[in-house]
Amino acid sequence: MPPMPNYRLSVLDQSPIAEGRSAADAIADTLDLARHADALGYHRYWIAEHHASPALAGAAPEALIGPIAQATTQIRVGSGGIMLPHYSPFKVAETFCLLSALAPERIDLGLGRAPGGDGRIMLALQRDRSKRMPHDDFPNNLAELLAYFDGTLPEEHAFAPLMDTLPSGGGTPEPWLLGSSMDSAIWAAEAGLPYCFADFINPDGAAMTAAYRARFKPSSRLAEPHVMAASWVIAADTTEQAERLGKPAAMLGALLQRNVHIPVPSIETAEGWLADNPAALSTRRRRVILGTTPEVHAQVDAVAAEYGADEMMLVNIMSDHAARRESYQLVAQEYGLAPRAKAA
């Protein structure tokens, strides 16, 4: 068995829609990958929230978490994340307590502030379209949501009686704060929450997780700071194969920067487009980990050390589902996840 790393490994799934396939196909792939990750010994399986995207089917993590939890047995299942500005704190509390009743002690509630789409999408998601919702109310909404779980709304609060009506019997979902900015790091620290930094969006997060640790206030749910970094990872039998598998996401990301939205292209489509647009690879700023399993292991170790991560969450977008399954399997075998999970 390989040496035990000092961090856990988990999966973030954005439910990619390959060209020529449907969202229904992508969701079927998500359920299949979740069962696969469970058997392989990964610790968590989180579902992202993206709206109005031809490339990503995960518009409603709360709708997917239940079926995934029912299709798996050991792995924790959650949101990566729920974009709280779109929803009432009470509705989120009800939904995730209900999910916890379905899968007791296995549900995570990852929370974010990003809109999950552009300004038009954000406005379309609002019930009241007469004004744009302020983002500076996020800390208040977060505090209200956590108070429902903790039963700490003041007696005089209009919603205090609702605390006793939340679905019971499954324990409380494990709340996390997600982000890629200093704001999210500070909010997570002040709320005493575990913090997941989106390294695959912003690779310059070490200072932010350091600030999170420095400012962390112990809470009833967490005594010490806890950091997870989510990084982009593709493993294959050869470095060249891994690089080839990464080309569809490179094309997708480059076109997204130009506000061009497409399904996840095939490898062949991406190779042709990138040959005509070589700058798309040379100007890519986001961190990408591609290679054989020893190469991936070494680079994930380096990222974990950079963040001082207690956990690492692996994410990728690929048009070839079989290759995606194999990537996670190769990493799990490299780390010896399944034997360790069985022993635990």
pLDDT tens digits for range 252-307: 999 998 999 999 999 999 999 999 998 887 766 789 999 999 999 999 999 999 99
Provide the pLDDT confidence category of residue 338 given band limits of 50, 70 and 90: confident
Provide the pLDDT confidence category of residue 1 given band limits of 50, 70 and 90: very low
Q: What would the mean pLDDT of 200-211 be, rounded to a whole number?
A: 95
Determine the Cα–Cα distance for residues 137 and 101; give it in Å rounded to an integer.
29
Q: What would the mean pLDDT of 185-201 be, rounded to a whole number?
A: 97
User: What are the strands, taking DSSP E only, across the chain?
Assistant: 8-13, 44-47, 76-83, 107-112, 174-179, 195-197, 227-235, 289-291, 311-315
Q: Which of 23-27, 38-42, 122-126, 178-182 has the lowest mean pLDDT?
A: 122-126
Determine the Cα–Cα distance for residues 19 and 132; give it in Å rounded to an integer.
34
166: Cβ contacts below 8 Å, ≥ 6 apart: 93, 94, 97, 148, 149
- Residue 255 to residues 16, 22, 232, 252, 341, Cα–Cα distance (Å): 16, 20, 18, 5, 40
Dihedral of alpha carbons 99, 39, 327, 207, sign: positive
Give this prediction's pTM.
Answer: 0.93
Determine the Cα–Cα distance for residues 115 and 113; give it in Å rounded to an integer.
6
- Locus of tokens 């809109």: 115
130, pLDDT greater than 70: no
Q: What is the CA radius of gyration of the chain?
A: 20
2, pLDDT greater than 90: no
pLDDT at 311: 98
209 touches 231 (CB < 8 A)? no
Q: What residue ranges define each of the domains in the chain, with the CATH number in brackets?
A: 8-343 (3.20.20.30)
Model confidence pLDDT, tens digit, residues 69-100: 999 999 999 999 999 988 999 999 999 999 99
Provide the pLDDT confidence category of residue 190 given band limits of 50, 70 and 90: very high
> What mean pLDDT value characterizes the chain?
92
pLDDT at 281: 77
The pair of structure tokens assigned to 106 is 């296995």
Give the residue with greater pLDDT, 224 vs 129. 224
pLDDT at 339: 72
Determine the Cα–Cα distance for residues 9 and 300; give it in Å rounded to an integer.
10
Secondary structure of residue 285 in the 3-state scheme: coil
How wide is the angle at C-alpha 326 spanned by C-alphas 335 and 302, nearest 5°?
A: 40
